Amino acid sequence: MVEGQTALDDVRTDKKMKFITAKTLYLLFGILITLGMLGPLPAIGEEIALDRALELFYRNNYDIIIHRYEVDKAEGDFVGAKLLPNPTFSLNYTGMNTGLNAGDNTQMTFRLDQLIELGGKRGFRIQSATETWEAAKLSHQEAIRNLLIGFYTNYFNLLLNELNIEFATEELKRYNRLHEVSTKRHESGFLSFLEYTKHRLARIELENNLLQLKNQNRNDLETFNLLLGGQGSFKPLKELAKEEFPEITEKTLLETAYVNRYDFLALQRQIKSAEFNQKLARAQRIPDITLGGEYERFGVKGDPGLGAGVSLNIPLFSRGQGELIKRTAEVNQLKTLIEKTKKQIGTEIRQGINNYRSSQAMFRNYKNRREDMHTLLANSEKAFSLGGITVLELLDTNKTYKDFMTKYNQTLIQTVLNKALLKIYSGELK
């Protein structure tokens, strides 16, 4: 009886396992179908190269998307400028007596009037809207150029964070190796308890520095992903900064900027638009005409009749004087603004060149002394192991080495960033 009951339990267990297995397979199959419909999802903390990051930035950045609607609004003005004025339809009925019956003086009139602008007003309006639309496109590109400054700054800051975190981690590992040495010296009686304690407490600063760097990196990553549209969790691909720093001349950058800078090009388009508006204001002196046609029915029998008419506004008092003054001031204002922008471009490029050359010279100084600093650190650690220097002298050397390498990494990344910013200032990076 017991054996039979056991066999029955085994059969039930097998059926239950088959049911669970089939249910699991159906569930997994459904998940796979869903993932296939959704497409590939970005991995958490996925590393992306600069080109890929720029692609996401151009496509998903909220500020770029928001500013893009300015182009759509300018297009709407262009479409509206091309449209003809709407005709006016009117219906009049007169001569109705008290009995609501038609009399001999009953008249019903259907009339259609159309305004016709003269003096090229419509053409000037279309040309002005066209230039404004083109200026809006260029201004949109200028907005992207300005946003690129923040993007590149954030991107290279993240690369600097990686270098600093990597260096801080190595510093902690180096400390652990030296701590083993100090422990053995202390246990052997060659290192006092006071100096041993000082060395042991030095770990706190190293750990806190690493925690601070990681926290800064997390915050910068939040900014980075927001710049990319906030649709994933990305981080820059770890790559060595290329130490390629060519000599750059102001003349070459200025020539490039005057051809490529979108703010400069947009102002040129805005001046053309303002000049067409100025011509439109002058054209207000020329009167417009209104052509009208009508169909009428008279009397009791409703005898039909046709009619036509012409009307025009006489520019006796208002001839657009105020509008002309306004548009003339607008043209002069834009000409002054484009002169200022041209000088501002030169200032930005000269400042960028100064920053580039300064950081390049600083990096070169650190690079020339880096091997000396490595040698100093190695000799100090060796001397400490042999009891040739104190803990304070060792810690002071470690601090000097840490400051040196931190500034080395900073000047390297800053020089690479300054080189990229020069391309943005000149409009070469688009």
Q: What is the pLDDT of residues 163-184, one digit of tens each?
A: 999 999 999 999 999 999 999 9
Quick one: pLDDT at residue 300?
66
**Cα-Cα-Cα-Cα dihedral sign, residues 186, 189, 191, 196:** positive
State residue 26's pLDDT score: 43
Q: Which two tokens stand for residue 220?
A: 């910068």
How many Å apart are CA 404 and CA 394, to the nearest integer?
A: 15
Give the C-alpha separation, 268 to 260, whole Å.
12
Q: What's the confidence (pLDDT) of residue 94?
A: 79
Give residue 316's pLDDT. Answer: 84
C-alpha 112/C-alpha 295 separation (Å) is 9
Q: Closest by alpha carbon to 230, among 390, 38, 59? A: 59
Which pLDDT belongs to residue 97? 56
Domain locations in the chain as residue ranges: 1-41, 47-85+122-286+320-425
Residues 172, 210 contacting (CB under 8 angstroms): yes
Q: Provide the pLDDT for residue 429.
A: 74
CATH 1.20.1600.10 fits 47-85+122-286+320-425, yes or no: yes
| pLDDT number for residue 46 | 87
DSSP state of 411: H
Residue 289 pLDDT: 93
Sheet holding 107-116, edge to edge: 88-94, 107-116, 289-298, 303-312
Report the sign of the C-alpha dihedral through residues 36, 37, 40, 41, in that order. negative
Q: What is the structure's pLDDT at 303? A: 75
* CA–CA gap between residue 129 and residue 274 (Å, rounded): 10
CA distance 289 to 309: 10
User: Quick check: 146 and 177 in contact, CB under 8 A?
Assistant: no
Q: What is the DSSP letter of 233?
A: -
Contact 220, 161 (CB under 8 A): yes
DSSP states along 369-393: HHHHHHHHHHHHHHHHHTTSS-HHH
User: Which residues make Cβ contacts (< 8 Å) with residue 328, sequence separation at least 6?
Assistant: 278
Q: What is the pLDDT of residues 147-160, one digit of tens each?
A: 999 999 999 999 99
Per-residue b or e along 315-340, where b marks 16 or more CB atoms closer than 10 Å to that residue's CB: eeeeebeebbeebbebbeebeeebee
Cβ–Cβ < 8 Å for 388, 196: no
Rounded Cα gap, residues 147 and 123, in angstroms: 36
| Cα distance between residue 381 and residue 143, in whole Å | 53
Asked if 366 and 411 touch (Cβ cutoff 8 Å), the reply is yes
Q: Residue 425: what are its φ and ψ, rounded to 5°? A: -60, -35
Q: Which residues of the chain have pLDDT under 70?
A: 1-45, 96-105, 300-302, 430
- Looking at residue 31, its pLDDT comes to 42
